[in-house]
Amino acid sequence: MDSSVLRRHGSTLLALMVALTVGSSALKATGNLLTATASATTLTCNTATGTTPATIVVKPVTALTGSATIAVTYAAVSGGISVSPANGTLNSTNGGSGGVGLTFTVTFAAGCTGVTNLATTPVQFKQAGTNDVSVTLTTNLTATTSGLSASPSPVTISCVAAGSSSPYTYTVGPAVTVNVLSNALNFKFGQLARR
């Protein structure tokens, strides 16, 4: 065999290897490695009673074996939604055959702050920092009452007028302290006193 035939076969083989390498990298980049299942995709926040959290379970598409792991995080969420924990790692135990996956809890900010009725918010999960599967949540806001309450309630304030004719003498009753609380936060905002 002469050297020109070897060079031609060598360059053809090199081109084929480059094509296979690029093709397999492109295939890996376009496929999701994760699946996500939400317990609910519509979440309701009530200014008087709060919210019931939902969960999202994240698992690998293909069961993990041996020492294989996938680091799972998510992009920052908006719309008054809070997700925890901040991250997790799938391994052959929780992401293997029969594994339970990682559970992320989704709830609202206290007092429904930042929540918009009928808004859609994506929770974009990432594996090793790369965008992967996402779950879109719809938010329902029920703001029928104030999230604030006063204690004690009701409040009685007294003022007594003395004398049988004008000019009367008025005597103010004892001071009453009223605490203003947030039902969602169970936090005391302040006190109002009337004297």
Tens place of pLDDT per residue across the chain (195 aa): 565 544 555 555 444 444 444 443 333 445 799 999 998 888 888 887 778 889 999 999 999 999 999 999 999 998 888 899 999 999 999 999 999 999 999 998 877 888 888 888 899 999 999 999 999 998 888 876 666 777 887 888 888 888 877 888 888 888 888 887 765 554 445 544 444
Q: What is the pLDDT of residue 113?
A: 80
Superfamily of domain 32-142: Immunoglobulins (2.60.40.10)
The letter for the amino acid at 18 is: V
Q: What is the pLDDT of residue 53?
A: 87
The whole-angstrom separation of Cα 106 and Cα 91 is 23
Contact 36, 127 (CB under 8 A): no
DSSP reduced 3-state for 68: coil
Question: Degrees (nearest 5) of the Cα angle 141, 142, 145?
Answer: 135
Q: What is the pLDDT of residue 24?
A: 39
Q: What is the pLDDT of residue 34?
A: 96
The whole-angstrom separation of Cα 95 and Cα 70 is 9
Q: What is the pLDDT of residue 29?
A: 45
Q: What is the pLDDT of residue 23?
A: 41
Q: Where exactly are the structural domains of the chain? A: 32-142, 148-194
